[in-house]
Amino acid sequence: MNRFVLLLLFLVGGLTATSNTFQNVDAKTFAALLNNDAGVVVDVRTPQEFSRGHIQGATLISMQDKQVVDKLNLLQKNKPVYVYCLSGSRSRVVANYLTKNGFTKVYNLQRGILEWQQIGYTLVQSAAATPSASKVYTSDEFGKLLNSSELVLIDFYAPWCAPCKKIAPIIDAMQQEFNGKAVIEKLDIDANPKIRTTFGVESIPGLVLFKNGAEVWRHTGLIEEQELKNIVSTYVKK
């Protein structure tokens, strides 16, 4: 989809929504906000720009992505969102869209990573994105997964989601600890959009716990490892 068409969609999309406003901030203020580690950092540039250098911990949601609106709406609306691009123009459009669609705390890096680098803050590089090899489930296959054990924990995630990457080591550790007691699996929502919709997962990371095939607990966003272990352990004993 053409970038200018996307810009038009963003601008028009918020005209009839809420009247929230976002905050334009300079690089020093942006960095100080990020140190609180309380929200999501969103890079709206192209994958190529992102791979050449991005802010540590950023989630790539490119404005050129055909699913950009769907991905933005998977972010938690009650958490701070820190948006940036190269010079602040693209991110300003995205920040406007977010505030017009229910996000309560949105901060735009006003002069982009140009200022970020000018005052000496660093960027990190990453390899170019590769196609996802995540498992695609049919409804029957997912149903069998939910009934493969008395207790099943599903981590609904996306490869582009930085908070999902942050929680991944916790899920990996729990797979080892609860082996034989519970099935703990990750489900890529990009590869399985119908399953995400069926189970009403509106934000990621999303954790849903099933006992005998029925949902018994749900959590959205990051969670401490010990807290998650305690919850699963409680249902193991029930």
Q: Active-site residue numbers?
A: 161, 164
Spatial distance between the Cα atoms of 109 and 33, rounded to a whole number of angstroms: 11
Residues 154, 137: contact at Cβ < 8 Å? Answer: no
Spatial neighbors of 236 by CB under 8 A, at least 6 apart, are 151, 178, 181, 182
Spatial distance between the Cα atoms of 95 and 104, rounded to a whole number of angstroms: 11
Residues 84, 108: contact at Cβ < 8 Å? Answer: yes
3-state secondary structure (DSSP) of residue 238: coil
Spatial distance between the Cα atoms of 69 and 34, rounded to a whole number of angstroms: 23
Spatial neighbors of 100 by CB under 8 A, at least 6 apart, are 13, 14, 15, 17, 18, 20
| Greatest extent of the chain over all pairs of C-alpha atoms, in Å | 57
Closest CA to 175 of 157, 191, 155, 161: 155
- Lookup: tokens for 106: 């949105």
Phi, psi of 130 (to 5 degrees): -115, 155
